Structure 1
């Protein structure tokens, strides 16, 4: 009986150790004075980070609740840590938890007559002036533009695209999944039109079953506008339309690896 108990405890310990080892992310909180709140931040460090002295690119991602942990997600997770581990990716991910009822405010650049919002300038200022300096001081990061990305889906895709226009000297690479251009369409297209130089590397993606077709047409329209600002020969943007793709975590989870590999 004692031997059985010892074996049980041993296997239980191994199981717990394995579970902890598989949790390839951690969290911390940081003051966000621009938003008058605290923000929960989720961080992924590449394999063997502790055993090296290398510096790594950083991707800032929105809606962190949906990136790593199914239990924290609203409708499934992206499996970011498992995906990057499988690729042996040399990148740091900084996931920013959305503000729940303030999500629309934080992730929309302009106020929408029906849905409100329009506080993305403060949200991005938090990332650029508070969070990024902390991350760069705490972790071994490559701090320049070409090694700093921003990535999101839906409203997160919208605010990531806006970040490229608002802070081109900070974000050199953008992942833009199912961008909700519709909520600020007039303003975001005008801002892109007014942009004289656009050098950001950008990956656009949506599914053809997300809505009544407006998502696809808006994305194609934006791609045309981007191409009017630079030569397509530079191959700085890629646009993907997923057949039968719907507006959900499954679409974004399945597309993340290819987007990451193309961007980095």
Structure 2
């Protein structure tokens, strides 16, 4: 696809010392660049280009007069369940054991490398990260751990159930969800803002039998934990999609709304 608004650079690669592999990523870079550094949106699961169709999302964004930004779609591979998760804390199956390395790849390798050739802003206020499902958990965790780098995180149907204990081992909702505990135990971090999306048909599981599916329950309870430590309504956006499902059809449809929020063009 050609566009008068941007250029697409598919399947770029960078050798990562932290991950011990070559990482593929896609770029969407605006053609009309000002002298000012540009905001950057880092997107997990970039390998799902065909399902998310970010070029179409960006085309509509610019047609509506949206602010210019650089899209960085980071591909994952068969190690997704190891590289995505919560840094320093694996889940009860040992998954997410490379999440800290993935975080270091983005911050210490990918971002500096791109800054050599692209006008990326160095300000956290202009650097954002988002993801879908487990990639959404990863995005939240990376922003949470590094408010000096990122100011906004987008979580689409996030795997916020990520836990340290299985049901069989006596899982307790208030004690064993990893990201909820990180927020509970961590201090308020000024400057961070969060965008959450859930679909009412994300799943059917309701582990505490309260009539609310787990995806929504986990998200709303994480929002409550954020508010308890000092975040306001202005710091958090929650979008619940009636009939929305845990797939790219829903996420693609709601992504323009996220872009408006993250770039403050709403």
Q: TM-score, normalised by structure 1?
A: 0.83
Residue 210 (str. 1) matches residue 202 (str. 2): yes
Residue 189 (str. 1) matches residue 180 (str. 2): yes
Report how far residue 48 of structure 1 moved: 2.7
Q: Deviations over 1:78-120 (max 9, x none)?
A: 121221222214000111110x220010101232234633211
The number of equivalent residue pairs is 234
Match of 2:173 in 1: none
Aligned residue runs from structure 1 range 51-200, under 5 A: 52-67=34-49, 70=50, 77-88=51-62, 89=66, 90-98=68-76, 100-109=77-86, 110-114=89-93, 116-184=95-163, 186-199=177-190, 200=192
- Within 2, Cα distance between the matches of 1:223 and 1:198? 14
- Within 2, Cα distance between the matches of 1:21 and 1:149? 24
Tell me the secondary structure at the aligned position of residue 261 of structure 1.
helix
Match of 1:26 in 2: 9
Q: Higher strand fraction: Structure 1 or Structure 2?
A: 2
Report how far residue 188 of structure 1 moved: 1.4
- Within 1, Cα distance between the matches of 2:136 and 2:107? 17
- Within 2, Cα distance between the matches of 1:116 and 1:48? 42
Report how far residue 20 of structure 1 moved: 5.2
Change (3 A) 1:145 1:21: closer
Tell me the secondary structure at the aligned position of residue 161 of structure 2.
helix
Unaligned runs of 5+ in 1: 1-18, 71-76
Q: Deviations over 1:186-223 (max 9, x none)?
A: 22111111121133111000101111210000000001
- Within 2, Cα distance between the matches of 1:128 and 1:231? 25
Is the Cα contact below 8 Å between 1:155 and 1:179 reproduced in 2? yes
Structure whose alpha-carbon radius of gyration is higher:
1
Is the Cα contact below 8 Å between 1:202 and 1:263 reproduced in 2? no
Match of 2:232 in 1: 232
Is the Cα contact below 8 Å between 1:46 and 1:85 reproduced in 2? no
Q: Higher helix fraction: Structure 1 or Structure 2?
A: 1
Deviates more, 1:197-206 or 1:145-154: 197-206
- Within 1, Cα distance between the matches of 2:162 and 2:185? 19
- Within 2, Cα distance between the matches of 1:254 and 1:78? 9
- Within 1, Cα distance between the matches of 2:36 and 2:42? 19
- Within 2, Cα distance between the matches of 1:195 and 1:117? 20
Root-mean-square deviation over aligned CA pairs: 1.8
Match of 1:223 in 2: 223
Match of 2:210 in 1: none
Residue 250 (str. 1) matches residue 224 (str. 2): no
Q: TM-score, normalised by structure 2?
A: 0.83
Q: Deviations over 1:110-143 (max 9, x none)?
A: 3223463321110010000011111122101211
- Within 1, Cα distance between the matches of 2:59 and 2:3? 12
